[in-house]
Chain A
Amino acid sequence: MGDTDWRAAREAVEAPWDELREARNLKGVLAARQRVRQLGDVESASAVQRWAVWLALAGAVVVTGLIVVGIELDRDDEERPGHAATQPIDEEHVIAPTNDRASPPAETAETSTVTLPDGGHVRLQPGARIELLEDGVVQSSGRARYMVAREPTRPLEIVLDKVSLRVAAAVFEAAIDVHHVDLIVLEGRVELREDGRWVVLEHGGEAHIPREPHVPLAPDEPEHEKPRTAEIEIPSAAELMQRVDQARSEGRLEDAIVDLRTLVEQHGQSTYVGAALFTLAQLESKRGRHQAAAAAFAEHSRRFPNDPLSEDALAGAATQSVLAGAANHAREFAQEYLERFPGGIHQTRMLDLLATN
């Protein structure tokens, strides 16, 4: 290679960057930008505001410390003169039904702290059970206090039983019992998926969500004789999405399609569903199944009208419908596109489509 031939090294390498990856990345950027706007740009906050925040935090720490000391003193009083070993706390007093937010979980021998993927922490009360995933946390039982340090551009995903949360830089407590999932936000904000949309809980916000009824086993049925179907575990949405990426990178598109369909069907409330539908549509299109691609694009556009990819999905639905021979549907999608996205990036293509179909 000659001295001046280095450019060949640039042109010879093609990054593993396709249209799907680009679309998903753009979606992430736009969503992060929106969240940053909603949270307010910390960098542009005035010094006075920053000082106010620090003072408030310092005040909260002092008050919390005083209360902890108070609780310990009370307990000492109760335990005298026997000075018994520390007892496990009554969980109902951690997030009390009266919502005494100032009562922090007391340390017990069985309380443990786990480091989250983002560097934050979660303090587990006795009986609490969580599972750490690569990019999130699943809590299946018990009570826990989360201190999430994640940057606002990349919220941590937490699933409480079947309730999905997105959290960035917040402190909150979550409790799962037989009948309910309870949540209280102590600092920052938490986004909660409810009825297919995201609800924001700010500082002091609470949620009390009934769990799906639990079907008890027959009284004489031993625990180990549960029906086998109950033991089949469906991978989480995050796991399925990882499998999809792996399958795509290895060219196993059909496997990826199967996993994407499983994700959409089994994790209908997951935050991954939008990306899954869009990816599914693209893969079906690559396989030449234009009707299925159009259906997936259309479903994405219908279910996620405010998603950054909605514009592409609607245009995709129109284009794929043409290829599937469904000109009427194609026209409907194209007209809807022009109404919803006047001046959109696919405008010319949609106008052409209407003119020729």
Chain B
Amino acid sequence: MAAIARPRENEPTDSELVAAILAGDEHAFTLLYRRHARSIAGFVFRLLGDSGDLDDVMQETMLETLRSLHRLQDHARVRSFMSTIAARIVYARVRKQKRRRQIYELLEAVKPGPPDPRERERIQALYRALWQLPDEQRVPWMLTCIEGMTLDEAASACGCSQSTVRRRIAQAQRRLDWRLSRG
């Protein structure tokens, strides 16, 4: 998610689009989708580690967004709302899967970071370390530390209490520190 899409001049804001969708405007949803799909796809891709289920998760996310949009109180936070839904779907999927997901695709997608070219290796090392954590710890940690979600949003996405999320994030952090310090 290099940048969160923002409306251009003269384009309707997210709040206006949500209001229009709730009023039955089909076109408004297309606009909202186009504005946020790329960043949500990036978010989902980072959580999944590969793009195998990306289309399915995206479609599920968008349909669920449409179904539950009437529950969104602050219309301006629709992107965060979509992210939470996407995270919930991803979390449910990864917990059901018996096989461990491979992350070659994710590691391959890490771009070299200017000004320090070694940044790429460090980020790849982080993702490798993350994928050695249990999903119950990895996902909340990624949601809060990488994706910038609040504890409340992460708890909602993971279907547990804030205190549980906080505990899992702390556990994840300890393990990550240990793994990353070993190189």
Interface residues of A (CB under 8 A from B): 1, 6-17, 21-22, 24-26, 28-30, 32-33, 36, 43, 153-154, 308, 343-345
Contacts and interface: CB of A to CB of B under 8 A. Distances in A.
Contact of A12 (B41, B60, B120, B180): B120
29 contacts: A1-B123, A8-B119, A10-B46, A11-B1, A11-B2, A12-B111, A12-B123, A13-B42, A13-B45, A13-B106, A14-B109, A15-B45, A15-B54, A17-B38, A17-B41, A21-B55, A22-B41, A24-B55, A25-B55, A25-B59, A26-B30, A26-B33, A29-B58, A29-B59, A29-B63, A30-B30, A33-B66, A154-B59, A308-B30
Contact of B37 (A8, A14, A22, A343): A22
Contacts of B105: 16
A6 B1 CA distance: 13
Contact of A32 (B26, B42, B59, B111): B59
Interface string B38-75: 10011011100001001100111011001100000000
Interface of B: 1-2, 26-27, 29-31, 33-34, 37-38, 41-42, 44-46, 51, 54-55, 58-60, 62-63, 66-67, 105-106, 109-111, 113, 119-120, 122-123, 126-127, 145-148, 180
Contact of A344 (B27, B34, B37): B27
Interface of A is mostly: helix
Contacts, number: 106
Given A13-B111, A16-B45, A345-B34, 16 more contacts: A6-B126, A7-B146, A8-B123, A9-B126, A10-B46, A12-B110, A15-B41, A15-B42, A15-B46, A16-B105, A17-B37, A21-B41, A25-B59, A25-B62, A30-B26, A153-B63
Contact of A6 (B27, B111, B145): B145
A6 B109 CA distance: 16
A240 to B, nearest CB: 18
Contacts of B113: 8, 12
A32 B65 CA distance: 13
7 tightest A-B CB contacts, nearest first: A15-B45, A17-B41, A15-B42, A29-B62, A6-B145, A15-B41, A1-B122
B58 A25 contact: yes
A161 to B, nearest CB: 29
B111 A14 contact: yes
Contacts of B66: 33
Contacts of A29: 33, 58-59, 62-63
Most buried by B among A6, A17, A36, A343: A17
A12 B111 CA distance: 5
Contacts of B111: 12-14
Nearest to B60: A153
B46 A13 contact: yes
B44 A15 contact: yes
A271 to B, nearest CB: 16
B119 A25 contact: no
A236 B122 CA distance: 44
B54 A16 contact: yes
A339 to B, nearest CB: 16
Contacts of A345: 27, 30-31, 34
